[in-house]
Structure 1
Amino acid sequence: MNLSDQLSLTAIDNLSKTAYVFNGEETNYQTLEGQVTKFASSLKDLGYKKGDHIALIVGNTPHFIIGMYGAMRLGLTVIPINPIYTADEIAYIINNGDVKGVITLDVLMEKFEKMEKLIPNVEHYIVGETSPAYDVNQSSLSEKAFSFAKLVQAGSLELDRPTLYDHDTAVILYTSGTTGKPKGAMLTHKNLYSNASDVAEYLQIGANDRVIAALPMFHVFCLTVALNAPLVNGATVLIVPKFSPDAVFEITKDFNATVFAGVPTMYNYLLQYPNKEMKDFSSIRLCISGGASMPVALLEKFEEQFNVRVSEGYGLSEASPVTCFNPLNRSRKAGSIGTSILNVENKVVDELGNEVSPNEVGELIVKGPNVMKGYYKMPEETTASIKDDWLYTGDMARKDEDGYFYIVDRKKDLVLVGGYNVYPREVEEVLYSHNSISEVAVIGVPDPNLGEVVIAFVVATDDSVTEEELMKLSKDKLAKYKVPKEIRFLDELPKNTTGKILRRSLKDQLASQQ
């Protein structure tokens, strides 16, 4: 089974059921199924065939759903890309990914007009109109440009579908590339379908659920948890074009949303939102957190404020992405990423690959039908990451006696102070426990005597908070070598488009000041 065929089956049983909501307008499964087939038909008429690569650069819009499912229905490999990437970043992915066509929006066409020479192999630009005034014929790329809406309208409902095999590459997700050029994780039809269906079952997402898609759809967290998993079981996807507390609370109220998925930063913004009349999550039965470790203090405050359970999980692009979630039928352990989901095995190992004892820290490795087939055109990196079918995540973790896993930190973020291991999250949790601290990031910086020392960056909600006060808190709660050498106050911390705090940017800022 694959996502495209499953959508067809879901549509048969839910023809009039709302599949997605965008800008207040509801689209049912029968209409979505027709849009997907007709778009695939038009792609075929343009000369696309199974195995071709097509980039999807559209943000949170119906174009993403129709574009991805339509391309997959024809057997194409879809490469989602962050729309706010620079021209050089987009060009690298398009060229490295052997992209034949680009699905984008009218508001982004000026960018592609300027970078045409950087991506000479792109044959078509399929442009989704956000304004009725836009005309693809007025673009300097008009010979290659086609209207998304007109392709859907002109397509046929009669489509000779190619056979899709489990091992065929459905999507290539390019990782953030914090340590070099981005790597393209090849996810197969089996990878995506298995993870979507297993997540839907594990989190009990059914036809009566209305799931908020406020995370970026191009990111694997949203792609699986807030898009594919709901569509697999006939739920409704509530599309939020761009995250804001206003938008989330409004769509929750208007459509009685039942599930919200977000990263910790989003929960912090929702918690800090000043308009008390709008802060209503009473229809929400489940909140899902991922993308980064959620501070325990934030989790507990959010649950108390909104009277809703927050289930923290874990995943990575290379695993489609979910490997762990706090189970709904057992206790939720604050600070834990939960237990292994259905059909997925997680293990904590030492440097030799041997499983460690309970509560001992080691590297988290993953095995299951969700693990990627490899990195695109990078066999050496693939071999280094996948050993005996186990994916080595690069995350340091531990497992308790009940089988619950805890992410200690990224292996690359480990700070070595005088030979002692300091995991940034442990220090961050202490600082987060202060009532006036809303954001924290801890990094290690070179030190001539100790090798590295700890520096903390914080965002305070109260101007009266001092470094001395936070230092005292740290000294009371942490061993001496873990205490920050310095605590710096910022108005906000640097984040990527999913709201994940970027420690690398903080390191770069410090380096430039020295």
Structure 2
Amino acid sequence: MRRVEEFLTEQVAIRGAEPALSDSIGTQWSFDEFDRASDDVATLLRDAGVQPNDRVLMLSENCAAAVATVFGTWKAGAVIIPVNARQSPAEIKRIIDHATPAAILMTTCASSDAVKHSDAMGSKEVTGAFGSLHLATPIASNPDADLCDVAVLLYTTGTTGDPKGVMLTHDNVRFGGKASAKLRGISAGNVVYGVLPLTHVFGLCSVMTASCCAGAHVRLEARFSAEKLYTALTTGVHFL
């Protein structure tokens, strides 16, 4: 089995100094810097007691630190659970109770809603090459060997019942990224506008993973705005 983070390793070897990620809070990372940021997240998680086949929940809105969190979780051998920080505390609690994550990382650097959840959980600020995040560890490490090839647990909203975790393997995410990059003609040097939430399968696979697979630069936006979209389209963005 090949893992999704291998896409990043490949890009570092080919175009490490070229632009990989930028976001609305001013972050600008090359592939080398993206790699170091995700390494720091992996180290942070291991130091917090996260083991391979644990689950890591990410409360986020789009930013470079969120992408580093996803890739850092994979580098630590754990499964990422991306959840939009704009969900309510009750919705998030239901996911936590079901998924029992060994760590929760919140992109407080780019999301006021993540700050609210962080305050409610009594989390602590953590810093590194990824910038600033907040970390909570309300549940002890509890690895599940059955998740050894799972990359992502995407939870439904639970509109008609309890939220359900949809398992995507590393092969699933790699296939989705490669297929999207090929079908849309994304290539190295292109700029992709990342306004679709990374907490949704389309943003996760067809934007983030596809761009990393192709060596493209993702300009991340936390929330949609017609004005910001127009600016992006007139300042070098090739794909939405």
TM over 0.5: yes
Task: State whether structure 2 residue 7 is matched by structure 1 residue 6.
Answer: yes
Contact 2:53 2:147 in 1 (8 A): no
Which of residues 65, 68, 82 in structure 1 aligns to 2:67? 65
1:258 is matched with: 238
Picking from 111, 114, 117, the partner of 2:117 is: 111
What CA distance in whole angstroms lies between the structure 2 residues aligned with 1:36 and 1:208? Answer: 22
C-alpha spacing 1:193/1:249, structure 2 compared with 1 (3 Å): same
- 1:46: Cα distance to partner? 1.9
Q: Look up the match of 2:58.
A: 56
State yes or no: 1:248 paired with 2:226.
no
What's 1:86 paired with?
Answer: 88
Aligned to 2:22: 21
Query: What is the number of residues matched between the two proteins?
Result: 220
The amino acid that maps onto 1:90 is I
Following the alignment from structure 2 to structure 1, what is the Cα–Cα distance between the partners of residues 189 and 8? 16
- TM-score, structure 1 as length reference: 0.41
Maintained 8 Å contact 2:106/2:118: no
The percent identity for this pair of structures is 24
RMSD over aligned Cα atoms:
2.0
Which structure 2 segments of 5+ residues have no match? 132-145
Question: Within 1, Cα distance between the matches of 2:82 and 2:150?
Answer: 13
Which residue matches 1:31? 33
C-alpha deviations, 1:55-94, integer Å up to 9, x for none?
A: 1111011111000000111111110112111111000001
Matches within 5 A, 1:400-439: none
Who is 1:271 aligned against?
none
CA distance in 2: counterparts of 1:190 and 1:222, whole angstroms: 17
Q: What SS is found at the alignment partner of 2:128?
A: helix
- Once residues 174 and 166 of structure 1 are traced to their aligned partners in structure 2, the CA distance between those partners, rounded to angstroms, is 15
**Distance (whole Å) between structure 1 residues aligned to residue 185 and residue 147 of structure 2:** 25
Work out the CA distance in 2 between the residues paired with 1:91 and 1:166.
22
Counterpart Cα distance in 1 of 2:28 and 2:129? 21
Q: 1:22 to 1:191 in 2, by over 3 A?
A: same
> How many Å separate the matches in 2 of 1:10 and 1:2?
14
Which SS does the other structure have where 2:45 is aligned? helix
Q: Distance in 1 between matches of 2:119 and 2:221?
A: 28
When residues 174 and 167 of structure 1 are mapped into structure 2, their CA distance, relative to the original with a 3 A threshold, is same
User: 1:40-439 to 2 correspondence within 5 Å?
Assistant: 40-106=42-108, 107=112, 108-114=114-120, 116=121, 141=122, 145-147=124-126, 149-150=127-128, 152=130, 168-254=149-235, 256-260=236-240
Please tell me whether the aligned partners of residues 20 and 238 of structure 1 are also in contact (alpha carbons under 8 angstroms). Answer: yes
Asked if the contact 1:172–1:186 (Cα under 8 Å) also holds between the matched residues in 2, the reply is yes
TM-fit CA distance, 1:166: 10
In structure 1, how many angstroms separate the alpha carbons of the residues matched to 2:38 and 2:27? 18
TM-superposed deviation, 1:54:
0.8
Which protein has the larger Cα radius of gyration, Structure 1 or Structure 2?
A: 1
What SS is found at the alignment partner of 1:20? strand
Q: Which amino acid aligns with 1:234?
A: G
Q: Deviations over 1:281-301 (max 9, x none)?
A: xxxxxxxxxxxxxxxxxxxxx
- Which whole-Å deviations, capped at 9, do the CAs of 1:440-485 have from their partners, x for residues lacking one? xxxxxxxxxxxxxxxxxxxxxxxxxxxxxxxxxxxxxxxxxxxxxx
Q: Which amino acid in structure 2 is aligned with residue 145 of structure 1?
A: K
Instruction: Give the Cα separation in 2 of the matches to 1:37 and 1:234.
Output: 19
Give the CA deviation at 1:104: 0.6
Question: 1:3 is paired with a residue of what secondary structure?
Answer: coil
Instruction: State whether residues 42 and 151 of structure 1, in contact with CA within 8 Å, keep that contact through their aligned partners in structure 2.
Output: no
User: Once the 2 structures are TM-superposed, how far is the Cα of residue 196 of structure 1 from its aligned partner?
Assistant: 0.8
Would you say the 8 A contact 1:61–1:239 is kept in 2? Answer: yes
- Higher relative contact order structure (alpha carbons within 8 Å, sequence separation ≥ 6): 2
Per the alignment, do residues 214 and 39 of structure 1 end up closer, same or farther by CA in structure 2, a change over 3 Å counting?
Answer: same
Is the helix fraction higher in 1 or 2?
Answer: 2
Provide the C-alpha distance between the structure 1 equivalents of 2:157 and 2:116, rounded to a whole number of angstroms: 24
The alpha-carbon distance between structure 1 residues 253 and 217, as it changes in their structure 2 partners (threshold 3 A), is same
Distance 1:236 1:152, change over 3 A: closer
Structure-2-length-normalised TM-score: 0.85
